Amino acid sequence: MKAQKRKRNSDEQVREFETRDLGKDIKKLHVIRPEKISTSIVLDPVMITRLQSKAKKRGIGYQTMMKIIVYENINRY
């Protein structure tokens, strides 16, 4: 019974999203993001595979996993 209710709620959300015109809402939207600097690094494919594996276990993306590793270890060096 609960699964049917969740499915119905989900379907209603999908219909709302698909039918709603977001034009006016988007024009009013002001996104504030903390200042960040984009960077690029070249990694060995084996490292990316390992990052992806560890990230999957946590349910996150590998780039997020990489950010966590850097954040937690930045002060070691």
Read off the pTM: 0.52
DSSP state of 59: T
29 lies in which domain range?
2-76
List pLDDT tens digits, range 5-64: 555 667 777 787 777 666 666 666 666 667 888 889 999 999 999 999 999 999 999 999
Q: Tell me: pLDDT of 1 over 60.
A: no
Number of domain units in the chain = 1
List pLDDT tens digits, range 3-13: 555 556 677 77
